[in-house]
Structure 1
Amino acid sequence: MRFLSVLKAMARHSVRDMMNLFFNLFFPLVTLLIFGYVFSGIYSQSSLNVGFYGQKLPMVSGIKYIEYPTLSQLKDAVNSQKIDLGVTLEGTSLFAYINPANIQSSNYYSSIVKSIADEINKSKGINNVIGVERNDISFTGKHLDYLDNLIPGILALSIFSAGIFSITASLAHFRDKKVIKRFWTTPLAKWEFYSAFISEKMVESFLSIILLFVAAMIFFRPPYSIDLVRFTITVLAGTFGMMGVGMAILLISPNARVASEISSVLYTVIMFFSGVYFPLDLLPKFLQYIAYGLPLTYLVMAMKSAMGIAPMSDLFFYLTIGIMFFGSVLVLLGFSRIFKVE
């Protein structure tokens, strides 16, 4: 019964801790929705507005042409973003006008211009000697876009956040307020405090992941094939592993404020070098070496494997999980140290 009482007290403390709720629940959810809508909208336009001046252009699927009487007016429309891009056909040259502000869509627009050029060649009886046709072969056999790869990374980032901030915020608060010291005057056993604290944080982590996953399925409908066993193990092991990182930060921090600041800096740096927002192959070689030394990198890989969008051998998966569970050892050692200090 004492265990349940402590568990309830921990839960009430977490609910009242606005910083804890923000980093563990609301920040990952807001990140998911913002990035999801940004990247799902880049290539999902139902009709692209393409302005042209001069010669008529052949119809291309997904394009709505808008004619302009002068080249100057066409350029002004592109500059003011009234249209997505502009094109003019002069002799054997097709000129494209793209606003640099649309840098995230520039490659897409270039492919549209290439499609227009191909249609012009076909209309004139000109065919390319060698045609290029792109075929995406995914691990799942399903079409996967950038957003589908981003969501597992955000889920892993949420586990990382829940793990380190649960220690550097909640436990640091207990230490600074001498809450742990007061336990010595009660019949509460150390294992009851340990188990109640860890259980509450595990439940909190699962609730965060479930909230994110449900939001992702409702708003973006990604084509995942979830392995529930791997998914559950990844969440459990990842939370333990990140709590171990948080405990290491707490032990070298004199107070909760310093621990929270170190965690925030670490969170900001690590999330950009762990394959959350872009593939590790895009990083320079020396940064890739750093990335493969970060625990979040392997948590992202394990999460993608559990969600069925990237291959990962059983040996490598369970080796990763085993290393993550080592975080539980760090947590228990940290608890012992804190009790001794108190």
Structure 2
Amino acid sequence: MRFLSILRAMAWHSVRDKINIFFNLFFPLITLLIFGYVFSGIYSQSSVNIGFYGQKLPPISGVKYIEYPSISELINAVSSQKINLGITLNGTALLAYINPVNLQSSNYYTSIVKSVADEINRSRGINSVIKVERNEISFSGKHIDYLDNLIPGILALSIFSAGIFSITASLAHFRDKKVIKKFWITPLAKWEFYAAFISEKMVESLLSIILLFVAAVVFFKPPYSIDFVRFTLTVLAGTFGMMGIGMIILLISPSARVASEVSSVLYTVIMFFSGVYFPLDLLPKFLQYIAYGLPLTYLVMAMKSAMGIAPMSNLSYYLTIAIMFFGSVLVLLGFSRIFKVE
């Protein structure tokens, strides 16, 4: 069949394109591993070095005390990051010194100071009248940390990247090199070209997601409860939706170089405002309004829902999927336009 011949040719073209392979398969994997190991280590330090001056402090599990002869030397040690945290006990006041550079770990260090204060009170026979206990109640009923929230975002970002760049790189290259025109003077049906191109890019996107997901499970063992029907629908619909956006960029770009540059800028901007790396609640209100107008935001939400870590009603989920599948219409309309121009 001509369809299979075209599919093999496009697959071979993608394999030979080293930049395409790197950015669609290996770059998301590298991003996942780097962020995964960085953030998985924030709250899992085997021992925390805490400096103190003055009175001896009670032993705390996972804490190594280092005594300093003066308060100035203790402060200098914290500021130069020789120690993670500094503490002094002055009568009834427990003073903590934290370097603002350690912003990601500040809550963790604050909890250690509270534990030290509780031990001091117990050693003096003082019991708290009201005890504050923190209980985490997640959608899945399992403990979910920052990394567990990050992985679905990286998967969604990979779908976004594969969908957009498959159009603005590969198809733009075909257009600029007049490959489509050469195809069209052969006894080739339009649907064969459409189907072969889309099928090859869908397989490429699926391989990227499978590679990322397997790496996440092997290296970080996230506690997901995956709905594989939703997961598959999210990958397929997301890829179609992002290809639709890529087609719009291609049609308004005069060349493959311009299309790739526009896509790169769009990729860089959108990934910071779509809830991939940090919650949308941290954004100022006006940026939240922008975030909820970006397609990647909803792809991240759908992926988190499919992986069982965030709620999303059936109506909202399937409406999101239906809108993303509309990207296939944009792709087909774009193909028709490109063939007409050619």
Q: Does 1:207 align with 2:207?
A: yes
Partner of 1:224: 224
TM-score normalised to structure 1 length: 0.97
Please tell me the residue identity of whatever aligns with 1:7.
L
Matched, 1:161 2:161: yes
Question: 2:170 maps to what in 1?
Answer: 170
What is the CA–CA distance in structure 2 between the aligned matches of 1:263 and 1:118, rounded to whole Å?
Answer: 54
Q: Give the equivalent residue in structure 1 for 2:15.
A: 15
Find the counterpart in structure 2 of residue 104 from structure 1: 104
Query: 1: CA distance between counterparts of 2:90 and 2:249?
Result: 64
User: Deviation at 1:68?
Assistant: 2.6
Aligned partners of 1:8, 1:49: CA distance in 2, in Å?
Answer: 58
Partner of 1:290: 290
Q: Which stretches in structure 2 are left out of the alignment for 5+ residues?
A: none
Match in the other structure for 1:194? 194
Alignment of 1:1-342 (within 5 A): 1-342=1-342
AA aligned to 2:7 is: L
TM-aligned CA deviation for residue 206 of structure 1: 0.4
Distance 1:71 1:283 in 2: 38
The aligned length equals 342
Instruction: Give the partner amino acid of 2:129.
Output: V
1:182, 1:15 → 2: CA distance? 21
Give secondary structure in 1 for the equivalent of 2:53.
Answer: strand
Measured after TM superposition, the shift of residue 299 of structure 1 is: 0.6
* 1:160 partner amino acid: F
Q: Which deviations, in whole Å up to 9, do the C-alpha atoms of 1:245-296 show, x marking residues without a partner?
A: 0000000000000000110011011111111111111112221111111111
Return the alpha-carbon distance in structure 2 between the equivalents of residues 258 and 279 of structure 1. 32
Aligned counterparts of 2:314 and 2:33: Cα–Cα separation in 1: 32
* 3-state SS in 1 of match to 2:33: helix
Post-superposition shift, 1:65? 1.5
Q: Secondary structure at the match of 1:243?
A: helix
| TM-fit CA distance, 1:127 | 2.3
Q: How many Å apart are 1:313 and its aligned residue?
A: 1.3
SS at match of 2:172: helix
| CA displacement at 1:242 relative to structure 2 | 0.3
Provide Cα deviations, 1:206-263, integer angstroms capped at 9, x if missing partner: 0000011111111111000111111111100000000000000000000000000110
Q: Structure 1 counterpart of 2:179, which letter?
A: V
Unaligned runs of 5+ in 1: none
Letter of the 2:140 partner, please give it.
T
Shift of 1:67: 2.2
- TM-score, normalised to structure 2, is 0.97
Q: Percent identity?
A: 85
CA-CA distance at 1:100 after TM superposition = 2.5
Residue 326 (structure 1) shift: 0.1
